[in-house]
A = this chain, B = another copy of it.
Amino acid sequence: MKAFVMEEIGETGMTEKDRPEPGPADAILEPTKGLICTSDCHTVHGAIGERADLTLGHEIVGTVDAVGDAVEDFEPGDRVVVGAITPDWNSRAAQDGHPSQSNGALGGWKFANVKDGTFAEYVHVNDADGNLAHIPDGVSDHEAAYTTDMMSTGFAAAENADVPVGGTVAVFAQGPVGLMATRGAALQGAGEIIAVETVEKRQELAREYGADRIVDFEEGDPAEQIMDLTDGEGVDAAIEALGADATFQDCIRVTKPGGTVSNVGYHGEGEFRHVPREEWGVGMAEIDIVTDLCPGGRLRMERLLRLLENDRVDPTPMTTHEFAFDEIEEAFEMMDEKADGIIKPLIHFD
């Protein structure tokens, strides 16, 4: 079968691989639609170290091709989505409420990390009953593909932010995760959402998803702008959806005493993130800093699909470009360079 792989750091290409076989609890999927994630680009640039001919990708929907003997709730032909994160549900971390950390930090992240990813003609899924979800009739494959990571991660940012009903939230960066964090904040009852972004198209989408105010960081220090907008009080919660030291620091600077900094940005570089001591209240201002890795699993996916089914969110406006699977290398390069105002490229496998 064909697979789009990271050949080594810095190199990608289409290659031929053996079709995967399911273990007793596993499934094999035939993808229909997929999305490329910026973290695929990070991986190719070496963020998680060297890999050899590793299949890329972790955001797909598809059709069940085969299942193992122990699988109870899925069968060939089912239209399904699989979360980007596929935890080991019986691990201690999952039993402790942290499935994404199963068997080690970020251990639930398997696709295109410790096993082949999803950009192939056939994809292996561990624990099908725990990690697949049926797609309801009213939800398209295109929409469903956004549950795997963008909606799950972005909404988690807002859930973890512990936003009070009517509270104020600042969301730093309006890439696809940030945009879904903005929508997530609205779905958590935020009273005022301040989106930090400079790209016009992303500003527009942010407004559509619920942002009440836009802070353009090219028009002045964003932390200062946010403090001004909140009469010097700061926000109840700040969401870091970029993964940079500057935005991480700004999050702390704009969060009021008793508030929460919710990080979902992937911090790929540098030895430290810096907590500004004074704005952090010298360690006593009750500003919590919380983090998350994209929640996965059947229940999570089913709940996100229900939001699509009942029109609580439409993620498809984030799809700025579309490609056939054969053209995925081109899509990947555009995503890597953020060319042509790309936000998310949709890959058609069917």
Contacts and interface: CB of A to CB of B under 8 A. Distances in A.
Interface stretch (A4-12, A306-314, A317-325): A306-314
A186 B188 CA distance: 9
A281 B104 CA distance: 10
A302 interface: yes
Interface in A272-312: 272-277, 280-293, 297-300, 302-307, 309-310, 312
Interface stretch (A54-62, A115-123, A159-167, A218-226): A159-167
Q: How many copies does the complex hold?
A: 4
A26 to B, nearest CB: 11
B282 A277 contact: no
A90 B130 contact: yes
Contacts of A269: 277
B90 A127 contact: yes
A96 interface: yes
Interface in A99-150: 99-101, 104-107, 127, 129-131
A192 B281 CA distance: 30
A231 B258 CA distance: 34
A188 B191 contact: no
Interface in A243-295: 243, 248, 257-258, 263-277, 280-293
Contact of A106 (B97, B127, B243, B281): B281
A123 to B, nearest CB: 19
The CB with the most chain B CB atoms within 10 A, among A106, A129, A166, A281, is that of A166
Contacts of A334: none
Contacts of A192: 306, 309-310
A91 B280 CA distance: 20
B184 A165 contact: yes
B275 A96 contact: no
Contacts of A168: 306
A95 B98 CA distance: 10
Contact of A93 (B258, B290, B300): B258
Given A187-B189, A243-B283, A265-B283, 17 more contacts: A89-B95, A90-B130, A95-B297, A96-B299, A98-B258, A105-B285, A155-B165, A166-B306, A187-B187, A188-B188, A191-B312, A264-B284, A266-B282, A271-B277, A280-B291, A283-B291, A285-B291
Interface of A: 24, 70, 89-101, 104-107, 127, 129-131, 155, 159, 164-168, 184, 186-189, 191-192, 212, 240, 243, 248, 257-258, 263-277, 280-293, 297-300, 302-307, 309-310, 312
21 contacts: A89-B89, A89-B90, A90-B298, A93-B258, A95-B300, A96-B299, A98-B257, A101-B286, A106-B282, A106-B284, A106-B285, A165-B307, A187-B187, A191-B307, A191-B310, A266-B282, A266-B284, A271-B276, A272-B277, A273-B277, A286-B293
